[in-house]
């Protein structure tokens, strides 16, 4: 029987699974997880996993295999995955959280299927209409949280308010800040700008007194400049922003590399400034920010990018571990209660 903080892993999920998943677990244990009490429930093909564990001694010593005959394909539709996915490595990894056998589940598999299975098994928290996917973003002076980044294409003002609650608690769990600032993504900071939904959400944030440190409208450039800690938006806009940022990071990295490797003077400058360039590379490397949490469920599920490598997967495990070690869900419930009470106060005042 495993003891410690149990992380339930869908070993068969991802473009290069299962190899990259076990390699990611091993990398995590060699770096961020070296002194932490992480243990893994590894869901997937037992024979394949045992073969990989021969090259991953730390993971082997800290894990238990739960055999699954089935795996969810990366291109499988969510409805199809639900119909045939029970008993799959993805399904079983979530079921372990529901049963209390693990604190958190992680998968690099099919996002739609993972969301559908998570909602079906774990259910939504009371007071939350839809789950959101939160992503970590590099910014001046640290990191910020952006949500939603893909779970909900269309959102109303009530859902955007709920996302703010989820994102604020998530930021506190990861970065131990008592009162993170929250901004609403818009096309400008002027009061008259934005869609009807954005304006309605802005009004709710201003009127509802539930302890949120609301900073008002922010623009796209504020994501990276460090204006606020948590940026709230719908999944359509958030996903486009995420993919744009990742592509821009890779593009800048390639530009710098090509400029420095193009001639002898560039190579000399690269050698002289090796430490500085290494830090720059780390700041714009998407792998260092891999791992998006599904927020709003009665349980914690973390989604890794399907095409990441061992370094990226290890970072996603680090996110999962940080949430597992925190009182994240309890904080969400407290703030949701305050939000609900504030809504009742507004309704009561309107009836008088």
Same fold, 1-126+296-326 and 129-295: yes
Q: Where are the alpha helices (DSSP H) in the chain?
A: 19-30, 46-53, 57-61, 78-84, 89-98, 111-122, 157-175, 196-207, 222-225, 235-261, 264-272, 274-284, 310-324, 328-351
The structural domains of the chain, with segments of one domain joined by +, span 1-126+296-326, 129-295
| pLDDT confidence bin for 351, thresholds 50/70/90 | low
Give the pairing type, strands 132-139 and 142-147.
antiparallel
Q: How much is the pLDDT for 28? A: 94
Q: Residue 37 — very low, low, confident or very high, per pLDDT cuts 50/70/90?
A: confident
- Pairwise pLDDT comparison (127 vs 205), residue with the higher score: 205
Superfamily (CATH) of domain 129-295? Isopropylmalate Dehydrogenase (3.40.718.10)
The pTM score is 0.82
pLDDT digits (tens, 9 = 90+) for 42-75: 999 999 999 999 999 999 999 999 999 999 999 8
- The CATH T-level fold of domain 1-126+296-326 is Isopropylmalate Dehydrogenase (3.40.718)
Query: Is there a contact between 70 and 84 (Cβ–Cβ < 8 Å)?
Result: yes
Instruction: Identify the three-state secondary structure at position 196.
Output: helix
Closest Cα partner for 230 from 321, 149, 147? 147
- In angstroms, the CA 246 to CA 312 distance is 13
Q: pLDDT digit string (tens) for 94-141? A: 999 999 999 999 999 998 899 999 999 999 888 788 888 888 887 777
Does 92 score more than 90 pLDDT?
yes
Contacts for 7 with CB less than 8 Å, ≥ 6 apart:
38, 39, 40, 41, 102, 103, 104, 105, 106, 317, 320, 321, 324
Tell me the three state secondary structure of residue 206.
Answer: helix
């Amino acid at each position: 029987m495993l003891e410690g903080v149990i992380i339930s892993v869908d070993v068969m999920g991802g473009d290069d699974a299962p190899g990259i998943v076990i390699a990611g677990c091993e990398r995590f244990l060699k770096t961020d997880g070296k002194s932490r009490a992480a243990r893994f429930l590894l869901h997937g093909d037992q024979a394949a996993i045992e073969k990989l564990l021969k090259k991953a001694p730390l993971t082997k010593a800290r894990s238990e295999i739960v055999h699954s005959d089935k795996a969810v394909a990366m291109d499988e539709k969510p409805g199809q995955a639900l119909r045939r996915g029970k008993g799959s490595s993805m399904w079983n990894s979530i079921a372990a959280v529901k049963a209390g056998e693990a604190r958190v589940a992680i998968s690099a598999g099919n996002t739609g299927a993972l969301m559908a299975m998570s909602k079906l098994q774990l259910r939504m928290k009371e007071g939350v209409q839809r789950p959101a996917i939160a992503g970590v973003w590099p910014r001046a002076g640290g990191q910020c949280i952006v949500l939603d980044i893909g779970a909900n294409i269309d959102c109303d003002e009530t859902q955007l308010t709920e996302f703010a609650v989820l994102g604020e608690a998530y930021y506190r769990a990861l970065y131990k800040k008592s009162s993170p600032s929250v901004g609403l993504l818009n096309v400008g900071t002027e009061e008259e700008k934005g869609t009807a939904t954005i304006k309605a959400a802005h009004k709710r944030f201003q009127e509802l007194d539930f302890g949120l440190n609301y900073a008002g409208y922010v623009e796209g450039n504020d994501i990276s400049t460090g204006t606020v800690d948590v940026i709230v938006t719908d999944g359509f806009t958030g996903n486009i922003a995420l993919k744009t940022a990742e592509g821009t990071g890779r593009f800048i990295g390639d530009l710098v590399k090509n400029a420095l490797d193009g001639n002898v003077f560039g190579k000399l400058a690269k050698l002289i400034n090796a430490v500085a360039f290494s830090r720059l590379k780390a700041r714009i490397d998407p792998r260092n920010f891999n791992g998006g949490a599904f927020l709003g469920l009665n349980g914690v599920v973390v989604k890794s990018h399907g095409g990441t490598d061992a370094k990226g997967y290890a970072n996603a495990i680090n996110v999962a571990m940080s949430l597992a070690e925190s009182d994240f869900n309890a904080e969400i419930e407290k703030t949701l209660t305050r939000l609900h009470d504030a809504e009742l106060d507004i309704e009561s005042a309107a009836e008088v």
